[in-house]
Amino acid sequence: MKTTAFNPVQIHLLRMFEYDNSSQSLEELKDVLYRYYSKRLDAKLDELWDNGILDQKRLDEISKMDLHQLDK
């Protein structure tokens, strides 16, 4: 059996939430994490656009790709 080693972030989150396991808390946490990562993604996309790495032509190419095939 393969064991999983938790990283420091995972351990911290597990300890923080061991006292409140309500479904409401879970939904609030999901919302916070969604907003956090959305903001980071938007900032990175803006940076790529501003640096000329990402443009409308590249977005059009990406929209035609089967992104599920990229991780194979």
Give me the sign of the Cα torsion angle 9, 12, 15, 21.
negative
pLDDT digit string, tens, across residues 19-61: 887 889 889 989 999 999 999 999 999 999 999 999 999 999 9
Please state, in angstroms and rounded to a whole number, the distance separating the CA atoms of residues 33 and 69. 26
56 and 50 in contact (C-beta within 8 Å)?
A: no
pTM: 0.64
> In residues, how long is the chain?
72
Q: Which contacts of 18-23 are long-range, i.e. CB under 8 A and separated by 24 or more positions? A: none
Give me the sign of the Cα torsion angle 30, 9, 5, 67.
positive
